[in-house]
Amino acid sequence: MPFVAEAASRPNSPEARDTAFVVHGLTNLRRHLDEGPLVIESGRGVWVRDRHGRDYLEGMSGLWCLSLGYGETRLIEACRRQMETLAYAHLTNHRSHPAVIDLAEKLIEIAPVPMSHVWFANSGSEAADCAARLCWYYWNAQDAPERRKFLAHRRAYHGNTIAAASLTGADYAHRQFNLPLDGFLHVACPDYVTDALEEESEQAFSERLLADLEALIAREGPETIAAFFTEPILAAGGVVIPPQAYLDGLQILLRKHGILLVADEVVTAFGRTGEMFGCTTMGLAPDLIVCAKGITSAYFPLSAVLINARVFDAMVAQSDRLPLFGLTMTYSGHPVGCAVACEAIRIYEDDAIVARVRRLEPVLLDSLRRSLRGSAIVGYIRGRGLLAGVQLMARRHPVQTFDPTQRIGPLCADAAQAQGLFVRAIGDTLAICPPLTISESEIEILADRLARGIADVEKDL
């Protein structure tokens, strides 16, 4: 029999029970054992409350995902209705159900570029993983099995399953995990603010990165490269907004060499950037689109890969040569997730969320700039829609970043939390991604609390 601790010796507080039993991601595990968690018990709108009754403005939509805020009764009711009607059904062996059909049809209808069919998974990581496998399947169908390599940006985040973590351009996803896998290659992050050479224009910066990319493709052999994965805006990389000249040139280069383009819209889809999809905002025309998070406003785990006709037709032809299409998941197209996603999309449309985000974009950026203009360590504020990044710098002109060992970004995020605001430190960028339902007055509260947190850190520098 497994060992079970005596009741009298078990930890009693939620914090102690957490450290005794729960493993946390993107967390220093030793520090967590020493300090314990902040236990959140409830949420309403853009606010959450910890177990001690303190309220926090959720400036990150959880993990970039709670687009419609807490307590959205339409999503709760959609979940309840579907659970009562059909709690589970699978998509293998020619089975289907109404909710997945409705959702797939709707996603194809609203896609930013023509798409053909939809593959469903449970998380953004799984969807990116599946997209990589579909690229391999496509090239095998095209009698080009040597096209196995993938390209992605440094600092990009595409998930944390094995292939998705290999696509991710962050050391923490690779170190001691024996990743990335062979054939997963990373190119320069298109961050003009911090990575441009002195006096280099955006156009020259873009041309330099594209020349380096073309040289890499030539060295590796274009006939060996399956696809390039990119986010329209690199969210977890520090809210990096690539220059338009770079994205335009990237697509020309990929088409020239016949390389598939996969757009990771896990964060940027469903209104976040002021369009239903970030591809529209940033002018991308991909072959596959990966989406998750806002698809259900995080009320149920669900993700999707939108596939264009070119790729899908090849999949059908390849499946015809084999006994069956061998990719499957138990919860693919889960009826509850699909019902919640359908309702979330109806809310985006009924409440004109995209137009609302466009209207609030200048409110957010202006509020941040006004509140932070007196700070000597705020170098640059950037954003699209309700997605923003506050770049902390030791000096603005010429650009001088902080020594990473100072941990200025995490210190500022912690100080903001002490003021009752959740933001996320990505190096020395503070990421801001509030629910799309946030009000103008709540945006002012967000900016004020962030300014007070940064000021507290600045006093100690």
Indicate whether 343 and 357 sit together in one domain.
no
Last residue of a domain, one of 313, 335, 350: 350
Per-residue confidence (pLDDT) for residue 3, from 0 to 100: 46
Indicate whether 371 and 246 sit together in one domain.
no
SS3 221: coil
Per-residue confidence (pLDDT) for residue 6, from 0 to 100: 56
Overall number of domains in the chain: 2
Q: State the residue for tokens 């006004």.
A: 370
Last residue of a domain, one of 296, 324, 350: 350
Indicate whether 210 and 194 sit together in one domain.
yes
- Whether 117 is in a domain gets the answer yes
Contact between residue 403 and residue 412 where contact means Cβ atoms under 8 Å apart: no
Indicate whether 364 and 258 sit together in one domain.
no
| CATH number of the domain encompassing residue 436 | 3.90.1150.10
Mean pLDDT by 10 residues, the chain (461 residues): 54 94 96 97 98 98 98 98 98 97 98 98 98 98 98 98 98 97 98 94 98 98 98 98 98 98 98 98 98 98 98 96 94 98 98 98 98 96 98 89 94 98 97 98 98 96 85
Range of the structural domain that residue 211 is part of: 74-350
317-323's contacts with Cβ under 8 Å and 24+ in sequence apart are 317/141, 318/137, 318/138, 318/140, 318/141
Question: What's this model's pTM, rounded to 2 decimal places?
Answer: 0.95
Alpha-carbon distance of 384 to 369, in angstroms, equals: 14
Per-residue confidence (pLDDT) for residue 1, from 0 to 100: 43
Per-residue confidence (pLDDT) for residue 461, from 0 to 100: 85
